[in-house]
């Protein structure tokens, strides 16, 4: 497949010109949407009916929609079976679910032996760190993970940013990858992240190389673990609540919505669909 003409943005340094208002984005060539879930699709930790309808409208317009989350494999399979999406990437890229001719297929980023060894060591390192941070505990849904683990700092627990930062630092000292979502400190061992898994997903699901800078795909997110995606996608969009981390995130989104959380995603969906709606008039 020939590579489309690139519209890759040149990020300035310093980066104060980012993100731009959503109205400045050109969505005319968009073929698909990759989106985070917590704080991007959810609103106050819940999926609004209007947000699900936004996903439906994107799918009905022929757009590929893929969820990209730090949540466990168990959540991913449920989403892949019940939501209007072509697939779900979970555990910060540790594995994904993809629809195919023979039904839903699960793909891991690591071979079984490496995955098992990393899992054993990860659990040991995480338990060691939990003992050093008062109140720190595994997220209640870590029981459903297969590759990574999550420490709750902003879902059922209320540890705050300082404690979350200490957890990240302690894990990194032990050689563990650790990065925050809007609710958890996700941690793993292995050579993967959301972007690596997204590229692999495109090959497995669509038989094509993903060139996120070419303007055919959008990424929507809201937090630290979205930074690799924000950096790679020319059409990266932060819902408005991303403003709370813009001064600390490694790479900001190119564009930002006016509304926060799920309402911000609904705003993005409308903006993507406008060119298509006009063509049908």
Residue 123's pLDDT band (cuts 50, 70, 90): very high
Q: To the nearest whole number, what is the mean pLDDT of the chain?
A: 92
Residue 95's pLDDT band (cuts 50, 70, 90): very high
Query: The whole model's pTM is what?
Result: 0.90
> What tens digit of pLDDT does each residue of 59-78 get?
999 999 999 999 999 999 99
Task: Give domain limits for the chain.
Answer: 27-109+192-280, 112-188
Q: What percent of the chain has pLDDT over 70?
A: 92
Q: What pLDDT does residue 18 have?
A: 79
CA 176 to chain centre: 19
pLDDT, average across residues 88-112? 94
> What tens digit of pLDDT does each residue of 247-273 get?
999 999 999 999 999 999 999 999 999
> What tens digit of pLDDT does each residue of 231-252 get?
999 999 999 999 999 999 999 9
Residue 9's pLDDT band (cuts 50, 70, 90): very low
Query: Are domains 27-109+192-280 and 112-188 of this chain identical in fold?
Result: no
Structure tokens at 251: 């790479």
The pLDDT of residue 34 is above 70: yes
Whether the CB-CB separation of 84 and 65 falls below 8 Å is answered with: yes
Residue 55's pLDDT band (cuts 50, 70, 90): very high
C-alpha dist (Å) from residue 212 to 33, 121, 178, 195, 196: 11, 33, 24, 10, 12
The alpha carbon torsion through 7, 8, 10, 15 (nearest 10 deg) reads 110
The pLDDT of residue 4 is above 50: no
Tokens 């408005």: give the residue: 240
Residue 102's pLDDT band (cuts 50, 70, 90): confident
- The dotted CATH code for 27-109+192-280 is 3.40.50.1000
Q: Which CATH number fits domain 112-188: 3.90.1070.10, 3.40.640.10, 3.30.470.10, 3.30.450.260?
A: 3.90.1070.10
Size of the chain in residues = 281
The pLDDT of residue 205 is above 90: yes
């Amino acid at each position: 497949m020939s590579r489309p003409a690139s519209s890759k943005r040149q990020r300035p340094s310093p980066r104060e010109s980012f993100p731009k208002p959503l109205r400045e984005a050109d969505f005319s060539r968009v073929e698909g949407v990759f989106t985070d879930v917590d704080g991007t699709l959810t609103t106050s930790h819940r999926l609004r009916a209007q947000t699900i309808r936004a996903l439906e409208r994107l799918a009905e317009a022929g757009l590929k929609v893929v969820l990209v989350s730090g949540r466990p494999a168990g959540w991913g399979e449920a989403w892949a079976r019940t939501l209007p999406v072509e697939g779900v990437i979970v555990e910060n890229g540790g594995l994904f679910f993809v629809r195919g001719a023979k039904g839903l297929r699960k793909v891991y980023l690591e071979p079984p032996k490496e995955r098992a060894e990393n899992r054993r060591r990860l659990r040991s390192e995480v338990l060691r760190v939990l003992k050093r941070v008062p109140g720190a505990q595994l997220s209640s849904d870590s029981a459903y993970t297969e590759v990574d683990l999550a420490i709750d700092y902003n879902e059922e627990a209320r540890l705050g940013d300082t404690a979350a930062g200490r957890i990240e630092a302690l894990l990194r000292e032990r050689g563990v990858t650790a990065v925050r979502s809007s609710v958890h400190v996700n941690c793993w061992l292995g050579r993967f992240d959301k972007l690596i898994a997204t590229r692999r997903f495109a090959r497995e699901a669509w038989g094509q190389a993903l060139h996120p800078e070419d303007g055919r795909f959008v990424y929507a997110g809201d937090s630290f673990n979205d930074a690799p995606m924000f950096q790679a996608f020319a059409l990266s969009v932060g819902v408005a609540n991303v403003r709370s981390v813009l001064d600390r995130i490694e790479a900001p989104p190119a564009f930002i919505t006016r509304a926060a959380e799920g309402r911000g995603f609904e705003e993005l969906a409308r903006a993507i669909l406008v060119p298509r709606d006009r063509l049908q008039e």
